[in-house]
Amino acid sequence: MTIQVNLDELLGKKSKHDVLNSVGLLLVPARVTIDEGYIRLLEQHHIHPYEIMLLDEEAIRSAPNPRELVKEASRFSKDLFDEVRTTKKLPLDDINNELLPLVDQVSSHPDVFQLFESVKAKDEYTHQHNIGVGVLSTLIGRWMGLNEEDLSILTMAATLHDIGKVHITDDILLKPGKLTAEEFEEIKRHTTYGYDILKNTPELHPRVALVALQHHERADARGYPHGLREDQVDPLSRIVAVADVFHAMSSKRPYHEPLPFHEVVNEMRKGSFGELDPEVVSVFLTMMIRHLVGSRVKLTDGRWGEVVYINPHDDTNPLIRVEETFLDLSQERHIHIQEIVI
């Protein structure tokens, strides 16, 4: 929900989006509290009231806690895996009526970084990962402007992308150390296991099964199970691949801790050269970083601050307010954002 106001009513509020002048100069960054200085600047540049869309903080405060929704969805995912192991069938009615509405509700949360924090896996990685990838894929799909039909297929496919792991033993899934070559080959089979389960569920759209099969394929044809090139992979599978990689790097897993925020972003950018779909990565990172302004962050030198400006030419090294001073990370190359604090 957005609210239109007069300029004299802006004081102390936050703009939902960056406010630019007629030549593209940033006047007020998104999510920064508007003070009298910003009001004067807006007046000088003849910004009209209808151009300012305020962040509805009440909507954020009143939205359901996404962390609790993710916990509920993760419990459902665990029960789903157990049921599929036992009955060899997907409980589609339960998935459609109970699980997917939870995924959709989390992906619609108005605070993007609260959403991101809620889906990070901290324990029970397999099931939290299923929900995290479902949520992130749905968010990316919205940002990319998918139509409602494709978005619905994507949410289902992403949430069930790892369903083939019902046939992988916990000894392998939860192994804290490096997998043997034989164990890794077994892990890779979860894509074909999942494809078989989903393609034999006639009520599902065929693309749902394709996503389970293809989400580990890579643009350079070095992925698995079939070594397909990017143009041979369904676009929905390419979206899920990006969400899958981002969630895996951001989460605690049996064999590694979550990577710092700046490393995740850098690795995603590297992955867009030959591995991940560059358009999907670009949309995801651009939209995510745009929401950084106003966020409280922990820096790699241990200090805390607030992001106040994103440099369009160096967007992973923003301007940070630290107490009464400003720190330009584009000039302090040895300091990075460690994590976003919710």
Separation CA 173–CA 297 (nearest Å): 32
- R_g (Cα) of the chain, nearest Å: 22
Among the CATH numbers 3.40.50.80, 3.40.50.1860, 1.10.1040.10, 1.10.3210.10, which is that of 64-289? 1.10.3210.10
Separation CA 270–CA 268 (nearest Å): 5
The per-residue pLDDT for 264 is: 94
What does each C-alpha distance from 53 to 3, 89, 287, 335 come to in angstroms?
6, 48, 17, 33
Question: Which among 195, 135, 185 is positioned nearest to 162, based on CA atoms?
Answer: 195
Give the SS3 label for residue 306. Answer: strand
The per-residue pLDDT for 217 is: 98
The per-residue pLDDT for 9 is: 73
* Helices first, then strands: H and E counts in the chain: 15, 9
Are the CB atoms for 265 and 316 separated by under 8 Å?
yes
> What ranges do the domains of the chain cover?
3-59, 64-289, 292-341
Using CA atoms of 317, 321, 325, 330 in order, give the dihedral in degrees to the nearest 10. Answer: 10
Report DSSP letters for 180-240, one per residue: PHHHHHHHHTHHHHHHHHHHT-TTS-HHHHHHHHHTT--TBS--SSS--BGGGS-HHHHHH
Residue 128 has a CB neighbour count (10 Å cut-off) of 24
324: Cβ–Cβ under 8 A, 6 or more apart, which residues? none
Give the SS3 label for residue 277. Answer: coil
Separation CA 226–CA 315 (nearest Å): 36
The per-residue pLDDT for 3 is: 42
Q: At residue 298, what are phi and psi to the nearest 5 degrees?
A: -105, 130
Q: What is the CATH number assigned to the segment(s) 3-59?
A: 3.90.105
Burial 162-173 (b: 16+ CB within 10 A, else e): bbbbbbbeeebb
Q: Which residues of the chain have pLDDT under 50?
A: 1-5
Q: Amino acid letter at 187?
A: I
Q: Please report which helix (H) or strand (E) contains residue 76, including its range.
A: helix 66-87
Residue at token pair 């459902």: 76
The per-residue pLDDT for 310 is: 85
The per-residue pLDDT for 2 is: 41
